[in-house]
Amino acid sequence: MTTTHTFSPSLQDKLGQRIAARLSADTLDLPHDITERLRAARTRAVAARLTPQTRLQTSQAVVSQNATALLHFGDEGLNLWSRLASFFPLIALVAGLALISTLLDDDRANELAEIDSVLLTDDLPPAAYADPGFLQFLKNPIALDKQE
């Protein structure tokens, strides 16, 4: 379910006045230097609001969808090409990840093939490496000295 609420400028002004009144009520307990800094900041904010250089984009509507409030700013000026161009980084990322995965799989396969070729060309049969007694034989330094 999607509902749209539009705000008139007078409703926005009333909301801003209520927020300002609430903030002003909470400043009564603050020290003098902090209240002076807040007063100076408010003066700068009002001056910036009155200058024509500052142009804020206000929301045209608040869209409520699945218990989530979203601000709707209208058409953002995106045409078909700019929308398609926004997907190119995503496509490049997916292609890069697929390439990395393929290269890593090839490297792993080459390592396993190299290990297999060493095992098969060795003098010992591959079953000797799986024997626990052979592992104990390799760990024993006395047995290795007798071989040489």
With 60 as the cut, is the pLDDT of residue 33 above it? Answer: yes
The H-or-E segment that residue 147 falls in is helix 141-147
Higher pLDDT, 56 or 43: 43
pLDDT of res. 22: 81
Which amino acid is located at 2 in the chain?
A: T
Average pLDDT over residues 48-54: 63
With 80 as the cut, is the pLDDT of residue 64 above it? Answer: no
Spatial distance between the Cα atoms of 22 and 15, rounded to a whole number of angstroms? 11
Which amino acid is located at 22 in the chain?
A: R
Buried b (16+ CB within 10 A) or exposed e, 59-96: eeeeeeeeeeeeeeeeeeeeeeeeeeeeeeeeeeeeee
